[in-house]
Structure 1
Amino acid sequence: MRLFHRILAAALLTFALIGSAFAAELTAEQQSSLNARVESFDAAMKGNNMAEIMGVVPPKVLEAIAAKFGVTSEQLVEATQQQFDEAMKSVTLVSFSMDTEKAEIVALADGTPYALIPTETVMDLGEHGKMRATSSTLGLLDGETWYLVRVEDAQQVAILKEVYPAFVDVVFPTGSMEPVTE
């Protein structure tokens, strides 16, 4: 029994060390670049600018989605803008925020950092009241450019892992939605 406890303790220590080995920090330049990307996305959301919103999606992901629908990336952006405009006729964006100060910075096995950014969206659904969606947004560094990806959508995560295989073993946090009772 004593041997079992030693093996268990050694295994737990090993897993703790492995987990902490993948925690990471961003350089000042990477952090500044990520903050700028989030700020531009925030402005695009508030301005209902789908071209800018879709501009934060990694080109590899955008191309994979477009290919699945048999359209070009430009056609995908245009169709998404039309759908977004239609949806926004019955929904008002009350607030949107991404908290880069509370982002969890992690590194892939190759050392490439990524960020899981707490994200909150409040929408007014008219007669159905207000809803608050909380989730994490993936800040993905591809080369020198940060991209942002919703990770609570299983289909989008599947495409992300298909075009960025380094994320295949990453488990992303789930989001939630609740009525706003204020």
Structure 2
Amino acid sequence: MLKRLLAAASLVAALAAPALAAEFTAEQLEGLAARIESFDAAMQASDMSEVMDVVPPKVLDQIAAKFNVTTEQLIEATQQQMDQVLKDVNIVSFGMDLEAAEFLETADGTPYALIPTETVIDMGEAGGKQKASSSTLGLLDEDTWYLVRVEDAQQVAILKEVYPAFADVEFPTGSMEPVTE
């Protein structure tokens, strides 16, 4: 009976490992808050080079390699695409709720944060206002925080390629709904 109890406890611990809370120092949490603040400012200014600065370099390099361009060319092309999109779409609001974030770790102990994120866009007569609710991955790579959209399946696939610790992590899906005033 004791062996079965120990085996069951071990199984529960193994299954729960990816969902265990991670602990961060006050300095690390301040770094995450500063990173979110700089990202928010870049989003409001539609500055894609600054927005792309929060994406892990390993992810950017992998995306660039897939398109056979340099990372700099990728950032420039993204800025051009965003400029084009923003001609027809207005970002009404954007925010990450750090106070509601979940601090977790992968099965191998890699710490990360899932930060609730909300974006409201106005697509004018073509689509009105829409609210996107999602989570943003806060990834601490060495001493630097990076932010990754996890509702985009392609981006998650690339993330898991370059950060194998996340291979078994299931990220929450996002949602989009019309805003009625």
TM-score normalised to structure 1 length? 0.91
Mapping 1:6-85, distance limit 5 Å: 11=8, 14-15=11-12, 18-19=15-16, 22-85=20-83
Match for residue 166 of structure 2?
167
Take 1:54 and 1:74, find their aligned partners in 2: how far apart are those partners?
10
Q: Report the residue type matching 1:29 in the other structure.
A: E
Deviations 1:153-173 (A, max 9, x none): 000000000000000000000
The root-mean-square deviation of aligned C-alpha atoms, in Å, is: 2.0
Letter in 2 for 1:135: S
Q: Where does residue 148 of structure 1 map in the other structure?
A: 147
Q: Distance in 1 between matches of 2:13 and 2:135?
A: 23
Paired letter, 1:28 = A
Consecutive unaligned residues in structure 2, runs of 5 or more: none
Q: Secondary structure of 1:134's partner? A: strand
TM-score by length of 2: 0.91
How many angstroms apart in 2 are the aligned matches of 1:136 and 1:40?
Answer: 17
Asked if the contact 2:151–2:171 (Cα under 8 Å) also holds between the matched residues in 1, the reply is: yes
| Alignment check: 8 A CA contact 2:104 2:112 kept | yes
Q: Distance between the aligned counterparts of 1:130 and 1:33, measured in 2? A: 32
Q: 1:17 to 1:162 in 2, by over 3 A?
A: closer
1:101-138 alpha-carbon deviations (Å, 9 max, x no partner): 11000012332310000000000010121000000000
Query: Which contiguous aligned blocks of 4+ residues in structure 1 show a shift greater than 4 angstroms?
Result: 10-14
Alignment of structure 1 residues 122-141 onto 2, 5 Å: 122-127=120-125, 128-141=127-140
Gaps of at least 5 residues in structure 1 are: none
Query: Quick one: distance in 1 between partners of 2:30 and 2:116?
Result: 17
One-letter code of the match for 1:121? Answer: T
**Which amino acid counterpart does residue 111 of structure 1 have in structure 2?**
G
Aligned counterparts of 1:38 and 1:148: Cα–Cα separation in 2 = 8
Amino acid at match of 2:143: E
Contact 2:110 2:165 (8 Å CA) reproduced: no
2:94 alignment partner in structure 1: 96
How many residue pairs get aligned? The number is: 176
> Does 2:104 correspond to 1:106?
yes
Work out whether 1:178 is the aligned partner of 2:177: yes
One-letter identity of the residue aligned with 2:158: I
Query: Identity of paired residues, percent?
Result: 70
CA distance in 2, matches of 1:162, 1:17: 23
Q: Aligned-pair distance for 1:27? A: 1.1
Q: Which moved more, 1:88-97 or 1:103-112?
A: 103-112
